[in-house]
Structure 1
Amino acid sequence: MPDDALPLVHVDDDLVVIDKPAGLLSVPGRGPDKADCAASRVQARFADALVVHRLDMGTSGLLVFGRGPAAQRALSMAFEQRLTSKRYQALVAGWPAQAEGRIDLPLICDWPNRPRQMVSHTVGKPSLTLWQRLEAHALGARLALEPITGRSHQLRVHLQAIGHPILGDELYAPPEVQAAAPRLMLHAERLTLPHPRSGEPLVLHAPVPF
């Protein structure tokens, strides 16, 4: 396998799903030094693969590409219309008092400090995350996370807002929590979506690497 090959989770005539490693951009950034990304690597092997959604550079896990414009359009609409179900795992600082909960805090770009996002009850867009405590670890808890909406940095900002920032988060965690892990401890582990051709539910998994 070439050094730049990515783990394939699912491939058919309509879509490609990979397990994106942490530290790799989903799409090209600005400048030639940010040209390497999941999209360019997938397109080198599947020339018709088109971006459907993104994961933050630090987040690992399931990333979907549509093969051709029709499949891309169908998959993009499924995400926009919330016909998909997503589950992440995260290692967070601190032990939540409840076993599960919901975070309903509106989010907006913190424009002077972009790409940071922030909670704003006046101009933020509705944002909802469901969470469940799974087990303890040395610095806090492992959580299962279900984002109902898909705002930029939603899980990271929501968890920081309730006092449980994700370990290794260079944007939102305090220095000691940021330094507690070698990467952002956030992984997209399960995704259910309607197949772009048949409409049948497709359930995808990527094992949690931490």
Structure 2
Amino acid sequence: MQAHYSLTEREAGQRLDRFLSEQAALGISRSYAGRLIEENRVLLDGKRTKAGTKLRAGMKLDITVPEPEKPELLPEDIPLSIVYEDEDVLIVNKPKGMVVHPAAGHGSGTLVNAILHHCGDTLSSINGVARPGIVHRIDKDTTGLLVICKNDEAHRSLSEQLRVHSITRRYAAIVCGNLREDSGTIDKPIGRHRTERKRQAIDPERGREAVTHYTVLERFGAYTLVECRLETGRTHQIRVHMASIGHPLLGDEVYGQRKQPFRLEGQCLHAKTLGFRHPRTGEYVEFDSEYPEYFTALLRKLRH
């Protein structure tokens, strides 16, 4: 699909990737817009450009959105823990150890493989062939709730709610140490680590806005159970933010201690509550999930 825009004062000052994601005719997410820009499918005044370019009146945009390819991914009959399902959305409770979408080293056994088997071809295509229906994701070793979109209209609605920070996302985490305050807010920009590309880091200069609100739920002396509410949704946000105040997540070998006292596999983090405006009805809906077995077993140990 080809699209052309002549920019006016109304668009002046906007970031290019954000402007593209807000064009209903294109029907693309901000991350996918960034991918198109990197692939030189977006020309600004006939020249290559960058996602963060600030638009000015009089500029001309030429966009080429490739036709969706048929997914190379194979549906796999992997059991899903379904919390809710209708014609627009699917809410699943992701187990520990499952990767959300295919990536290097994880071409099968992912949540995407499972939902392809469950939903067939009734999934949104906005995020491309590798991430059908995927609006947001959680890390491999993080458990809990995810919403899958079954059509592009639902995907656009949920993406917009993510953009304006109106989706409720509350996580339970067990962190190292005893927090001084009962609650607090961490407002520190996060960006890719400048030398270790698989990590994220606090980066006031080049990082993107990241805000996490935390509340202490239970104290165990050397460890603390906290609820973290995301205002933004950066990669590894809770893990990076809690580590930045000296309280990394228990089990997190990337941002915390290498040696783990409880033989854990990955960080103790559970996406417990998810709420949003339903894309069809406009009504607010909220879903909650119980702690996974490993989490409750660990809490029992800490209490005794």
Tell whether the structures are fold-level matches, with TM greater than 0.5: yes
Contact 2:253–2:259 (8 Å) recurs in 1: no
Aligned to 2:199: 116
- Identity rate of aligned residues, in percent? 32
| TM-score (structure 2 length as normaliser) | 0.65
Which range moved further: 136-145 or 179-188? 179-188
| TM-score (structure 1 length as normaliser) | 0.93
* Structure 2: segments with no counterpart, 5+ residues: 1-75, 124-132, 296-304
Aligned to 1:42: 115
Size of the aligned set, in residue pairs, is: 208
**Aligned partner (choices 2, 14, 20) of residue 94 of structure 2:** 20
Contact 1:170–1:178 (8 Å) recurs in 2: no
SS in 2 for 1:171: coil
SS in 1 for 2:138: coil
Q: Distance in 2 between matches of 1:169 and 1:179?
A: 12
Which of structure 1's runs of 4+ aligned residues deviate more than 4 A?
177-180
Q: Is 1:185 equivalent to 2:268 in the alignment?
A: yes
**Aligned partner (choices 256, 259, 280) of residue 173 of structure 1:** 256
Task: After superposition, give the CA deviation of every residue in 1:132-190 in whole Å (9 maximum; x if it has no partner).
Answer: 00112363100000011111110000000000000111211121358653332000000
Which range moved further: 89-98 or 38-47? 38-47
SS in 1 for 2:112: helix
Task: After superposition, give the CA deviation of every residue in 1:71-117 in whole Å (9 maximum; x if it has no partner).
Answer: 11211211122120110000010010111111111111014312200
Task: After superposition, give the CA deviation of every residue in 1:18-77 in whole Å (9 maximum; x if it has no partner).
Answer: 00011100111124x432211110121112131111111111100111111111121121
SS in 1 for 2:181: coil
Aligned to 1:147: 230
Q: Quote the offset at 1:123 in angstroms.
A: 1.7
SS in 2 for 1:192: strand
Root mean square deviation of aligned Cα: 1.8
Q: Is 1:30 equivalent to 2:90 in the alignment?
A: no
Q: Quote the offset at 1:3 in angstroms.
A: 7.5
> Which residue identity does 1:22 align to in structure 2?
K
Q: Structure with the greater relative contact order (CA < 8 A, sep ≥ 6): 1 or 2?
A: 1
Contact 1:167–1:180 (8 Å) recurs in 2: no
Which structure is higher in strand share?
A: 1
> Which residue identity does 2:172 align to in structure 1?
Q
Q: Distance in 1 between matches of 2:267 and 2:235?
A: 15
